[in-house]
Amino acid sequence: MLENASATGTPAPLAPSELHLLDAYWRAANYLSVGQIYLLANPLLREPLRIEHTKPRLLGHWGTTPGLNFIYAHMNRVIRERDLNAIYVAGPGHGGPGVVANVYLEGTYSEVYPHIGRDEEGLRRLFRQFSFPGGIPSHASPDTPGSINEGGELGYSLAHAFGVKNPPDLLTVLAALFLLTVCVRLSWEVGRLEDHSRALAEEVALLRKDLDDRTLETT
């Protein structure tokens, strides 16, 4: 099959071993991301999770982060394979956990901030500092290694994307455009569900009142 694909000029599918490595990297990035959002301690879950292990106030959008990590992982593969000069424009607000997670996985974060080491204590500090007093913001701020802008909003990202000189080998990814569409659709569906729930609650209240009235009449 690989020979036929090569002969026809069609790109061959990734080898199972490469897919396994990509999937493992993506899952590790997702774990590092969700840990930043939720955990103060117990970073490797070596003991049963307790309330004091979690942050009292949560910031950072888990919903957008797996998508950002997925794109980051595959961009890394393509950049290494084709020696691309690429920039990743990440648009979703509060997508910072994903960017920080990937920079930590690559080892750059610990090089810039040696106190955030690549061990269990370093992981605890990485999780604790995210969106926490004295720590780092919930978006990709200038102190994130490799970040060229402050913020994680679509407008900022579009401004940077259009302000970049685009040679033929520059790959610009605007993940926010897709994610924004999904969010709008979900918001619309939630609005419809809310209307149905309200109507159902009103009907239940009327039925209960009718039942109570009949009960009083019989007594």
**Structural domains of the chain in order of their starting residue, each with its CATH number:** 2-175 (3.40.50.970)
Amino acid at 156: Y
Q: Of 89-98, 113-122, 150-159, where does mean pLDDT reach its minimum?
A: 150-159
Amino acid at 119: D
Distance of CA 45 to the CA centre of its chain: 20
Alpha helices in 39-153 (DSSP H): 65-82, 96-106, 108-112, 120-129
- What is this structure's pTM? 0.68
What CA–CA distance (Å, rounded) separates 141 from 100?
Answer: 10
What is the predicted pLDDT for the residue at 95? 82
pLDDT per residue over 70-101, tens digit each? Answer: 999 999 999 988 998 888 877 766 788 999 99
What CA–CA distance (Å, rounded) separates 139 from 61?
Answer: 9
What is the predicted pLDDT for the residue at 147? 80
Stretch 15-23: mean pLDDT, rounded? 92
